[in-house]
């Protein structure tokens, strides 16, 4: 098992040799996550990865594994800091061409790669795809800013918006 993270790898050779990679990748090596403000260069957070290349019974190359990372996002409900532990399972069938991708019968995602795989970009893509569109704290952990009820500010009953129409009709 390799612990040094290679930015580029020959996926076909890796699959033939059933290569396994595991370790941590510092956020400073993930520039797109920093660019989007999802990670800080000096935050000390790191992406944990476990990647396994191999071939299935039919000889089809695959890349499997798990990515884990703790990200600081903005809660869309209260607009405060939200720390989210992300887990991104990987299950990719590797093919060399679009035409080969059409022939693959698999429950996993098909990934077209020629000769060299940019592993760091793939990992960044998978993390970005795992981030929820509208991140928010669990129910009850925060509340949206501003008035929370329809109650009148003086504590009385709220005015019925149709009461004005009833008064006009009565004239």
Residue that is written with structure tokens 């060299």 in the block: 116
Locate 34 and state its tokens. Answer: 């920093």
Nearest to 34 by CA among 42, 87, 82: 42
Residue that is written with structure tokens 């040799």 in the block: 17
pLDDT at 44: 63
Enumerate residue ranges in the chain where pLDDT < 70. 1-3, 38-44, 145-156
Greatest Cα pair distance in the chain: 89
Query: What are the pLDDT digits (tens) for 7-50?
Result: 999 999 999 999 999 999 988 888 888 887 766 655 667 899 99
pLDDT at 118: 94
Q: Which is it for the CA torsion 19, 57, 129, 71, positive or negative?
A: negative
Q: Which domain holds residue 23?
A: 8-169
- H-state helical runs in the chain: 11-16, 31-35, 98-103, 119-130, 163-169
Asked if the structure places residue 3 within a domain, the reply is: no
Asked if the structure places residue 2 within a domain, the reply is: no
One-character DSSP codes across 138-160: PTTS---SS--S-S-TTSSPPPP
Number of separate domains in the chain: 1
pLDDT at 166: 81
Asked if the structure places residue 107 within a domain, the reply is: yes
Per-residue CA distances from 65 to 35, 52, 136 (Å) = 25, 6, 27
Asked if the structure places residue 120 within a domain, the reply is: yes
pLDDT at 142: 84
């Amino acid at each position: 098992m390799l612990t040094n993270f290679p930015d580029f790898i020959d996926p076909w050779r890796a699959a033939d040799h059933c290569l396994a990679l595991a370790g941590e990748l510092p956020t400073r090596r993930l520039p797109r996550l920093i660019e989007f403000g999802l990670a800080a260069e000096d935050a000390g957070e790191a992406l944990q990865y476990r990647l396994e290349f191999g071939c299935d019974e039919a000889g089809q190359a695959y890349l499997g594994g798990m990515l884990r990372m703790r990200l600081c996002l903005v809660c869309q409900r209260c607009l405060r800091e939200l720390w989210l532990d992300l887990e991104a399972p990987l299950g990719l069938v590797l093919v060399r061409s679009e035409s080969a991708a059409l022939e693959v019968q698999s429950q996993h995602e098909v990934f077209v790669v020629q000769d060299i795989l940019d592993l760091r970009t793939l990992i960044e893509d998978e993390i970005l795809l795992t981030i929820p569109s509208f991140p928010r704290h669990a129910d009850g952990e925060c509340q949206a800013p501003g008035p929370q009820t329809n109650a009148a500010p003086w504590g009385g009953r709220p005015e019925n918006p149709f009461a004005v129409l009833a008064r006009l009709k009565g004239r």
